[in-house]
Structure 1
């Protein structure tokens, strides 16, 4: 439910230095539903708004989370695990397998905002959707 999505937003903001908080993304709950045909699983959607120059700290998602990400507007630079660092533009999508490390997630522009829709398929009992990496 909403606490898990709020945990995502709070964890990302808390992990960043006070002076850099204006350059951090804002996660907003969009949808949450337990899947009636897949017991123990839920579908959670979150919009992630990146102001110009904003970035997420490196993080991991819940171990059970399969994530589909769709760039709604702007452009996002992303690197998952040891894969290539890529720029995804509006209309592009990518995914993260369960247990992946999201090493880079940032707005590709220092002048324009960007928006991402992240859709999680996750164990219903997983309440923490993101854990910042220790640096």
Structure 2
């Protein structure tokens, strides 16, 4: 039953996808046409599994200093095999700088050391009174 329903669906799709004569009139309003071909293969599949290994190794760094928004941050990271090392810094709104040094590997997992530099400033929001 499934095969008959499938064939009817494919036949309907093929009829619907054929170009409709007399409807184009060469005004650039043609219909989109698509087709597909379905082939079924029955038999034993032979599968070969080939293992590829590429030693992962990279290094990147970036720095942002936007005077308009006050956004200041940077990051540097490197990877060699299963070992990732990096550091990033972020200027916080209170005036301090957060510095995170991190290291990750198979043996110890992910470890981060977070430091803060500078002294936090108490920021008082401005209130505008309209009378």
**TM bracket, shorter-chain basis:** under 0.3
With CA pairs under 8 Å and 6+ residues apart, which has the higher RCO, 1 or 2?
Answer: 1
TM-score by length of 1: 0.27
**Structure (1 or 2) with the larger CA radius of gyration:** 2
TM-score by length of 2: 0.27
